[in-house]
Amino acid sequence: MQATRFVVVRHGETAWNAQGRIQGHLDSPLNEEGMAQALLVGERLGAEPFEAFYCSDLGRALQTAQPVADRTGRQPMATAQLRERALGVFQGLTGAECERAYPDEYRRFHARDPGHAMPGGGESIRGLYERVSGVFEELARKHVGARVLVVTHGGVLDALYRHVTRMPLEQPRNFPIYNASLNWVRREEDGWVLEHWGDISHLTRDAALDDF
C-alpha cells in the first residue's frame, strides 16, 4: 500500500477565537487577522500538488480554504464529517461564562471525560474521536498514494493527533493547535506517521492563537 499524505490546516483566526468564545457548530467569520492568515495559507499551498481537497462545511473553514481554491482552481469538497466538536450549551460562551453557568459540566469538560457530552446536543470526546478517525481512515483508503489537503478545526486536529500517535483521549493536550497552522501526517500500510506538526512558518507574525 502506497502512503497517503495529508496536510491538515486549522482555520484562520475568528472574532470568537480572539474573544475566547467557544464556537463548536456555531460560526463566527474570520477577523482581519484570520483573513490575512488565510491568504498566506493560499500562498503557501497554492503551488503544492494535491490530488484531493476537503473542507469542513462550517463558514470559517470554507473562508480559510477559499484562497487555496482561488490559486488552484479547485473547490474543496465540504463535509460535516470534518466539523468542529459540537459543544451544546457551551457554544457562544467564554470559558469564564461556562464555568459560572455550568460549573459541573465545565469541570468534566476540562477533565477530558471521554464519554461526557454537553447538554444541548453536545458531542463527547470519544464520539469526536470516532468520527475523525473514521473519516481520515476512509480518505486514506479512497486516495491511496495521493496527497490530500484538509481544512478543518482545532478539535478535529486534537482527535487526529491522538489517532496518529495513539495518545489517550483523557490525557491533557501537550501539543499546539494554532490558527492557520499546517500539520502533516501520512497513512502507511502498517499505520500512521506524524511528519510535522504546528507549522506556522508561512505566517508573517511569530505566533498564532492556540486552541483552548
192-212 pLDDT per residue, tens: 999 999 999 999 766 666 666
SS3 content of the chain, % helix, strand, coil (to 5): 40, 20, 40
Task: Give the total residue count for the chain.
Answer: 212
What interhelical angle do 59-72 and 32-45 show, nearest 10?
Answer: 40
- 13 in catalytic set: no
- 11 in catalytic set: yes
Query: Domain 4-199 belongs to what architecture?
Result: 3-Layer(aba) Sandwich (3.40)
Residue predicted with more confidence, 21 or 211: 21
Spot the catalytic one: 13, 33, 84, 123. Answer: 84
Q: pLDDT, tens digit, for every residue of 143-193?
A: 999 999 999 999 999 999 999 999 999 999 999 999 999 999 999 999 999
Q: Within a 10 A sphere around the Cβ of 71, how many other Cβ atoms?
A: 16
pLDDT of amino acid 210: 63
pLDDT of amino acid 206: 60
Helix (H) and strand (E) counts for the chain?
7, 6
Spot the catalytic one: 11, 143, 153, 163. Answer: 11
Residue boundaries of the structural domains of the chain: 4-199
The average pLDDT across 121-148 equals: 97
Asked if residue 169 lies in contact with residue 127, where contact means CB atoms within 8 angstroms, the answer is no
* % of residues, the chain, pLDDT over 90: 92
The pTM assigned to this predicted structure is 0.95
Binning pLDDT at 50, 70 and 90, where does residue 47 land? confident
- Burial letters 31-57, b for 16+ CB under 10 A, else e: bebbbbbbbbbbebbeeeebebbbbbe
